[in-house]
Amino acid sequence: MFNLLKTKTNLKQLEIIAKKLANKSLIGDIYLLSGELGAGKTTFIRFFIYSIFARNLIKKPNSIKSPSFPIMINYPVKNFEVFHYDLYRLSNENEIQELNIFENLKENITLIEWPQMIINNLQTDSYFLINLEIINPRERRIKIAHTHNKHLDNEF
């Protein structure tokens, strides 16, 4: 893994980072988000998806929630979709196969919360790994890495 960013962040800075990453995002990109409950994974994804919609000049969804119970929510954009998965409730790897995650990876943008169960079976060697860690109620530490040496500029 190549480290792309490691910094402390507040909510406003988290939004800036998510927006900048979304604006560089390409179809086929996969983002794996890890961190304890309440660390900001869904908040990051909300900022990210809103930015994708803004970049494509389409009306953003009314709300973006964690798909903890449906496990997956998709957001149609123009010629692709953003798939948002939350694997927190899955208890074994067989359940992953039932979600058809692998069928959607190449033609869309995929965001996966709680990726621990899937990371070794992703069937790709190209993905972002985003880890959020709680420092205190208003601050997080964010680490963004990629399997390849992606150049994101130092504009975060």
Q: Domain boundaries in the chain?
A: 10-112+126-133
pLDDT exceeds 60 at position 155: no
CATH of domain 10-112+126-133: 3.40.50.300
Q: Tell me: the pLDDT tens digits for 48-100?
A: 999 999 999 999 998 888 888 889 999 999 999 999 999 998 888 778 878 88
Q: What angle do CA 122, 28, 94 make, to 5 degrees?
A: 25
What is the distance between the alpha carbons of residues 28 and 106, in angstroms, rounded to a whole number?
Answer: 4
> Residue for token digits 């692709």?
80
> What is the rounded average pLDDT for all residues in the chain?
91
DSSP state of 36: S
pTM score, whole prediction: 0.92
What is the distance between the alpha carbons of residues 64 and 115, in angstroms, rounded to a whole number?
Answer: 19
The stretch 119-134 carries a mean pLDDT of 90
Query: What pLDDT shows up at residue 131?
Result: 98
What is the distance between the alpha carbons of residues 134 and 38, in angstroms, rounded to a whole number?
Answer: 8
The stretch 118-139 carries a mean pLDDT of 91
pLDDT exceeds 80 at position 123: no
